[in-house]
A and B are shown apart, each in its own frame.
Chain A
Amino acid sequence: MDITPGGSSGGDVASLLGVGPGRRADQLFYSVALVAGLFVLAILGLIAASTTHEAWPAFRSQGLSFVTSSTWIPAEGKFGALAFIYGTVLSSLLALLLAVPVSLGIALYANEAAPSRIRRPIIYVLDLLAAIPSVVYGLWGVIVLAPFLGPNVYSPINDAVGGWPVIGWFLNGSSGRSFMTAGIILAIMITPIVTSLSREVIATVPRAQREAAYAMGATRWEMIRLAVLPWGRGGIVGAIMLGLGRAMGETIAVALVIGSQAGQVTTHLFEAGDSMAAVIVNQFGEASGNHRAALVGLGVVLFVVTIIVNVSARSIVARFDRRAQGV
């Protein structure tokens, strides 16, 4: 038995006290802690099992058309979720497009360029942004942002460039409640996460790298480009993917501003659509039978997709961590 009292397993020393009055208490405590830890596995397993079981009738009756067809007509028993999967992906990608430049800019500013007096207020502002519940963002989005954007931003853009090739494929439509508005709200919501994770990554860049760049006469931007970004690339990608996972799972804010229009598989960003999570929360209340199973099925698809994104993100970040520690 290892006697060295090192790290977190210092209990080896204590368990040298092989006999004695407190031994059963020790074992009991260990068991309780173990069970608590196993709860995580149990709950996760139960989530996967119960939702898949509930959704199975829908998967069986629809087969592959559940994810390849965009015809969702509950009254006729047709459940094709393609348009909703598309809406989730589109609004999340838009969110990334808007949030990543801003988040990176804030992270770099806070770590590299900001005077130390401004650094802490910036972090507070981000904390506050992260603390606002998503339903409040949704409320602001549906009452303030969407009615403003439709006539004042989307319509003029649509009138100006909607007919042009390529750019007109995207900047088309005029609805305040649309993929774009959902993307904007999501961008506001994921900025704090991407920023704080990027900041952690950027902070681990060794000073030696920075000083080497300066020693060669680099400007601050060149130092960032040559020393910080290449070093932190993996971690930043991981941070971005975590933001993507969060955006895909967001329900309430998107449900309020995306317009709830079925069947929309379109590149027109200013048109209304729907997302998986929004469909679930809007239709679940009065669904039954196969309709309910199909909605739980949407939840399963969402669950699987967000887990894949999150696990990939964490493995990228972990690989970056190992490299950063010189392993």
Chain B
Amino acid sequence: MRSSLKSLALLVAVLAVFGVVAAACGGSTSDSDAKPDSTYDYASLSGTLNGSGATFPKAFYEEAIAGFAGVAKGVTVNYNGTGSGQGKKDLAAGTSDWAGTDSLVADADKATFKGPFLYFPTVAAPITVSFNLSGVKSLNLSAATLARIFTGSVTTWNDPAIAADNAGVTLPSTKITVAVRSDGSGTTSNFSKFLAAAAPEAFTLTAGDTVAWPSAQSAKGNAGVAQIVKATNGAIGYVDLSDAVASGLAFASIGNKDGKFVQPTLEGASAALAGATINADLTYSALNAAGADSYPITAGTYIIVYSSISNPTQASAIRGWINYVLTEGQTIAPEVDFAPLPTALRDKAIAQIASIQG
């Protein structure tokens, strides 16, 4: 008994030592086959870029990080999906080098930052209204019905409001389980802003990174909301397209400004982006866009960085990372269900990279 205990302890010790040694030598492998931008010198960059923020673009940034690691071997990029709210706070506090956010920094919070910062639009995607209802494969929802569901006025699936949007479809009497975000989220911000713009009489709550939804189960991150919808019959929630597709969820077609019910596709997103007004700081809103093919809940996302960075190596690394996102990244985006930027906007963003001083 004693000798077998000893050999067990020895095995555990060997495994532990092996693990520590091998892990110190090893690293993550990149399995992206993105074509390197031959005109940009990625190989000379070095440093560690810690980022945090929105979970909306997380799947895209992870792919971009993996691809970037292949061409810029000296740079390690990390991204922690903590939600847009926390991402902005981390950048303001200086604990991160770049922030991912779907929502803009509030005027009141601008003073908390250590200096002026720049918005870089990166990708856009539809925010799906995913649902899980046995026996129902497709669903139309007008903005007003959607607002009533999320404010708790419509509580069962066979409510007349939903039936009115879906002529000829038999809806069960299942109770609606609404799934929302528990953390401060740019996805929540965009979704609630859409409801406020498209159905102002029905949506009586205050839009923003957090909304006081009256009776909804909540979870962290887009993935958490997707998990609730996937696991619960009768659930409905707002999830970015990438996570919704990866979770195998069904999406509702949403009534857009022109009165058409549009599915959340990259084409619908691009149609919505095409008509959006770009502000001077490169922010824009594609919500509730006009156009028959526009998907009305299309959201853009940004990377925020300081415009003046003290460490020149770090500044070069940041410029290289953002350049990668805006060049190769744009070809990677559709592979994970994100819409690339319209060419004009993308060129403006690439031009803004030069404004990062350091």
Contacts and interface: CB of A to CB of B under 8 A. Distances in A.
Interface string A169-181: 0000011110000
B307 to A, nearest CB: 24
Given A75-B212, A283-B183, A288 B220 contact: no
Contacts of A150: 231-233
A272 B214 CA distance: 13
Contact of B89 (A76, A147, A286): A286
A73 interface: yes
Interface in B219-234: 219-220, 228, 231-234
B interface, size bucket: 20 to 34
A75 B208 contact: yes
A177 B217 contact: yes
Contacts of B212: 73, 75-76
Nearest to B234: A174
A261 interface: yes
Interface in A205-236: none
A263 B233 contact: no
A146 interface: yes
Contact of A174 (B175, B211, B228, B231): B175
Given A175-B177, A175-B217, A260-B217, A286 B184 contact: yes
Nearest to A175: B177
B215 A261 contact: yes
Is chain B's interface secondary structure helix, strand, loop, or mixed overall? loop
Contacts of B208: 75
Interface string B71-92: 0000000000011011001000
Interface string B189-212: 000000000000000001011111
Contacts of A288: 89
Nearest to A262: B218
Nearest to B134: A151
Most buried by B among A74, A146, A150, A259: A259
Contacts of A204: none
B166 interface: no
Nearest to A174: B175
Contacts of A115: none
B50 interface: no
Contacts of B175: 174
B206 A286 contact: no
B82 A263 contact: no
A285 interface: yes
Contacts of A260: 182, 217-219
Contacts of A147: 231-232
A146 B206 CA distance: 32
B51 to A, nearest CB: 15
A86 B272 CA distance: 46
Contacts of A174: 175, 234
Nearest to A147: B231
B147 interface: no
Contacts of A15: none
A161 B211 CA distance: 34
B232 A176 contact: yes
Interface in B152-180: 175, 177
A170 to B, nearest CB: 17
Nearest to B174: A174
Nearest to A256: B219
Interface in A76-131: 76
B216 interface: yes
B214 A263 contact: yes
Interface in A259-292: 259-263, 272, 282-283, 285-286, 288
A244 to B, nearest CB: 26
Given A176-B232, A260-B218, 15 more contacts: A74-B210, A75-B208, A76-B212, A146-B231, A151-B233, A175-B177, A177-B232, A261-B218, A262-B218, A282-B182, A282-B218, A285-B82, A285-B86, A286-B82, A286-B85
Interface of B: 82-83, 85-86, 89, 175, 177, 182-184, 206, 208-212, 214-220, 228, 231-234
5 contacts: A150-B232, A150-B233, A176-B231, A259-B217, A285-B82
